[in-house]
């Protein structure tokens, strides 16, 4: 019996060294849970970027706009964001790198002209709708 339980005996002692009461234990558990779940939030955000690329290109738009958006977000956050391991969102620079890698892999010869034209059509549609208002 000693061999089976002996390895578990020190665990309560270690926990007691870390936390002194139930409230501290709950706070510690919550913090650990948040840190564990942050990676899922960041992973979901990167998947969202990938899907955004896919939907934009299927709709006929250039993926450059998504890269430019990530660059804008990155410059807006410069210096004011928490370390990435504490953030629910990945560093926008990582999104830029991911999107540029996807663009290079998907279009090794460069972004097709029809997607560039889609960007121009979108800009024209925005201007037309804006002038009607």
CB neighbour list of residue 42: distance below 8 Å, 6 or more residues apart = 84, 87, 88, 89, 90
CB neighbour list of residue 122: distance below 8 Å, 6 or more residues apart = 61
| 115 touches 63 (CB < 8 A) | yes
First and final C-alpha spacing in the chain? 80
CA dihedral 71, 72, 76, 82 (to 10 degrees): -40
Percent of the chain residues topping a pLDDT of 70: 51
pLDDT of residue 58: 86
Q: What band does 106 get if pLDDT is binned at 50, 70 and 90?
A: very high
Closest listed residue to residue 84, CA positions, set 74, 99, 69: 74
Q: What band does 1 get if pLDDT is binned at 50, 70 and 90?
A: very low
Per residue in 38-91, pLDDT tens?
Answer: 666 667 777 888 888 898 888 888 888 888 888 887 787 666 665 655 555 566
* Highest-pLDDT range among 22-26, 74-78, 100-104, 120-124: 100-104
pLDDT of residue 108: 94
The model's pTM:
0.52
pLDDT of residue 12: 56
Residue 7 to residue 106: CA distance in whole angstroms: 52
Tell me what the mean pLDDT of segment 118-133 comes to: 71
Residue 51 to residue 92: CA distance in whole angstroms: 16
């Amino acid at each position: 019996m000693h061999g089976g339980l002996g390895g578990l005996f020190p665990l309560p002692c270690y926990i007691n060294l870390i936390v002194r009461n139930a409230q501290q234990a709950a706070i510690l558990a919550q913090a650990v849970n948040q840190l564990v779940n942050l990676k899922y939030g960041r992973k979901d955000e990167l998947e969202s970027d990938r899907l955004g690329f896919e939907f934009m290109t299927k709709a006929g738009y250039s993926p450059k706009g998504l890269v430019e958006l990530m660059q804008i977000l990155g410059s807006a956050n410069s210096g004011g964001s928490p370390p990435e391991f504490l953030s629910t969102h990945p560093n926008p620079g990582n999104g830029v790198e991911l999107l540029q890698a996807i663009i290079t892999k998907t279009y090794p010869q460069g972004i097709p002209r029809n997607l560039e034209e889609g960007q121009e059509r979108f800009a024209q549609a925005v201007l037309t709708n804006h002038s009607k208002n």
